[in-house]
Amino acid sequence: MPNGTILVVDDAPHNRSLLSTLLSRQGYTVLQAEDGSSALALLQEHAPDLVLLDIHMPHLDGFETCRRLKADPRTRPIPVVFISGSDGTLDKVTAFNVGAIDYLTKPLHAQEVIARVNTHVSLYQQQRELEAMRAARINHLQTLDEIKERFIRAVSHDLKNPIGLILSAADMLRDTALSEEQSQLLSIIERKANFMLAIISDLLDLARLTTEPSPRYATTSLRALMQEALVGFDLQAESKQLAFEVCLPEEDALIEVERHALCRMVNNLVSNAIKYTPSGKVEVRVETAPETFSITVRDSGLGIPPEELPYIFDKFYRIPKPEYRKEDGTGLGLAIVKAIVEQHQGSIQVETAVGVGSTFRVTLPRQAKRGTNHQNEGGT
């Protein structure tokens, strides 16, 4: 039998006394209120495990008392059991509609009251324990995430210098006489070292995005930002004999964003589109609305298998199929895109079909949300 606190609300002193005596003998702490107003006042100071509530009371009846109790977020979870001399269907339906979990009809039977009270108190206490465990688990996971991000950042910084030294040494070796085999081995060293640097750079960016509370917003020209972000992609597309089309709004717009992050987001999306499009076209389209702007990157590439779609924004995830593994990648590009979009309180939608291509559409607010860091930056 659970211990707990019961609030008994009844305008009849005799009924309150009987219930109080019965429940006290079962080990419960009992609070009493003579009407709805007194009950609501008590609930501001106490948090009982159950409310036994009479329906027909002067001034504030049980139905209205329950409505107000359920309207307050602090008292909403507390279970309410109505007590009434009426066995009518209408009263019962109304009781459940206003938020009650049970209905007892007078005259009350002691064993029935005890059984129902024990059941509802036990369920409520278990629910609170589960919620506390869930909150503790969420807090634990958040702590683990913070530790992991700090570890990634520290390790990434520590790895950057030795990899830089490897690349410097490889560059010096290029100036010496090398056999064809030695030259090939040196190329492998350089390629793998540069790949490691790319992973480290992505990890550091991701750690910054997930640990900083808000972007460093700046007011900038949307057209200028896109022109900066798209530099060089026309040549990359041309090298693969892909058509590369960019459609910007006729009228420029001022937006409040973290410029470096937005450039990185566009870079990752367009880079992926070119990388996984063997032939055809890559298109970038920018559109503005009164309160938002959108960036759409569409390609005619490999597309994404539907079973892989739920995982594409996960860290280090790469589609485990040979045609996708031909291209080098850290598996962090789309995770960074998602982090940037979420940091800017935007949204991202994906449409894709295998063998047809993919469309990524990012929608962001044109103005920074209140409470974020902001500074002015002139557009060029």
* Residues paired with residue 53 on neighbouring β-strands, in sequence order: 9, 82
The answer to whether 4 touches 52, Cβ cutoff 8 Å, is no
Q: What is the pLDDT of residues 189-208, one digit of tens each?
A: 887 887 777 777 777 777 66
Amino acid 41: pLDDT? 93
53, containing H or E segment: strand 50-54
Q: What is the pLDDT of residues 158-174, one digit of tens each?
A: 777 788 888 888 888 88
Torsion over CA: 169, 170, 173, 179 (sign): positive
Q: How confident is the model at residue 358 (pLDDT cuts 50, 70, 90)?
A: very high
Amino acid 162: pLDDT? 80
The domains located in the chain, with CATH, are: 5-108 (3.40.50.2300), 141-211 (1.10.287.130), 216-376 (3.30.565.10)
Q: What is the pLDDT of residues 57-91, one digit of tens each?
A: 988 999 999 999 999 999 999 999 999 988 889 99
Q: What is the pLDDT of residues 266-279, one digit of tens each?
A: 999 999 999 999 99
Read off the pLDDT of each residue in 298-325 and give the average, rounded to a whole number.
Answer: 85
Q: What is the pLDDT of residues 249-269, one digit of tens each?
A: 989 999 999 898 899 899 999
Tell me the HSE value of 370 on the side-chain side, using a 13 A CA sphere. Answer: 0
Q: What is the pLDDT of residues 177-191, one digit of tens each?
A: 888 888 888 888 887
Amino acid 203: pLDDT? 72
235, containing H or E segment: helix 233-239
Amino acid 293: pLDDT? 96
Read off the pLDDT of each residue in 145-165 and give the average, rounded to a whole number.
Answer: 73
Amino acid 1: pLDDT? 45
Amino acid 265: pLDDT? 93
| Secondary structure (DSSP) of 66-105 | HHHHHHSTTTTTS-EEEEES---HHHHHHHHHTT-SEEEE
342-348-353 Cα angle (round to 5): 145
How big is the chain by its Cα radius of gyration, in Å? 32
Burial of 332 (0-12, 13-18, 19+ CB in 10 A): buried
The answer to whether 253 touches 290, Cβ cutoff 8 Å, is no
The answer to whether 36 touches 159, Cβ cutoff 8 Å, is no
Amino acid 297: pLDDT? 97
Q: How far apart are CA 48 and CA 189, in angstroms?
A: 68
The answer to whether 331 touches 320, Cβ cutoff 8 Å, is no
* Torsion, Cα of 172, 178, 182, 187 (10° steps): 50
If you average pLDDT over every residue of the chain, what do you get? 87
pLDDT at 211 over 80: no
Could you check whether the bond before residue 107 is cis, i.e. omega within 30 degrees of 0? Answer: yes
pLDDT at 324 over 80: no
Amino acid 54: pLDDT? 94
Q: How confident is the model at residue 298 (pLDDT cuts 50, 70, 90)?
A: very high
Q: What is the pLDDT of residues 15-31, one digit of tens each?
A: 999 999 999 999 999 99
pLDDT at 376 over 60: no
Q: How confident is the model at residue 380 (pLDDT cuts 50, 70, 90)?
A: very low
